[in-house]
Copies of this chain bind each other. A is one copy, B any other.
């Protein structure tokens, strides 16, 4: 994929084409063979790249997948004032993210390796949650002050529920109807279950 076949084009500088080829191959392989079916050798072969070129860039399969799967920029998720719209946007965004077929495959594997690698844990937290958590904490404070939200509600609980539910429904139960999952969760979050 990268180029020629047995040649490369940059002298003593890392070739960006290698990065791109590896990440693209990773995304492709994730849906083809799954996280656990993926090997470094397999990625290298699919990317048309030598294995050392991969080890030079990432310390483990989890790090490759992490970079391949999650966009490098945290999107501007929390911004509205209207609380219903805001929660709806957060839930639909979360469900859309974890509903991507590539992410569905990647998440359980990443979670599994996170437990043994705190580095990875931190990277994933920062990439996926930290920004949103801070903003959501601030928004909740505002909403609580204005009485829009009950004071018992904490940002971490909300994020646990949104991410956990999405992961469970999409990566574990493998549900296909994203719309339904997001709608039900939004309703539940906003109103609770009591009639």
Contacts of A157 in B (CB 8 A): 165, 181, 184-185, 188
Which of A150, A151, A164, A168 is the most central at the interface, judged by chain B CB atoms within 10 Å of its CB? Answer: A164
Of B112, B150, B152, the contact of A36 (CB 8 Å cutoff): B112
Interface assignment of A34: CB less than 8 Å from any CB of chain B:
yes
Interface assignment of A5: CB less than 8 Å from any CB of chain B:
no
- Decide: B111 and A193 in contact? CB cutoff 8 A: no
Interface assignment of A53: CB less than 8 Å from any CB of chain B:
no
A190 → B minimal CB distance (Å): 5
* Dominant SS among interface residues on chain A: helix
Among A16-24, A41-49, A67-75, A113-121, which stretch is in contact with chain B?
A: A113-121
Interface assignment of A160: CB less than 8 Å from any CB of chain B:
yes
Contacts of A167 in B (CB 8 A): 164, 167-168
Give A87-112 as 1s and 0s: 1 = Cβ < 8 Å from B's Cβ atoms.
10000000000000000110011011
A90 → B minimal CB distance (Å): 11
- Decide: A171 and B36 in contact? CB cutoff 8 A: no
Contacts of A149 in B (CB 8 A): 193-195
Q: How far is the CA of A114 from the CA of B174 in the complex (A)?
A: 10
Interface assignment of A40: CB less than 8 Å from any CB of chain B:
no
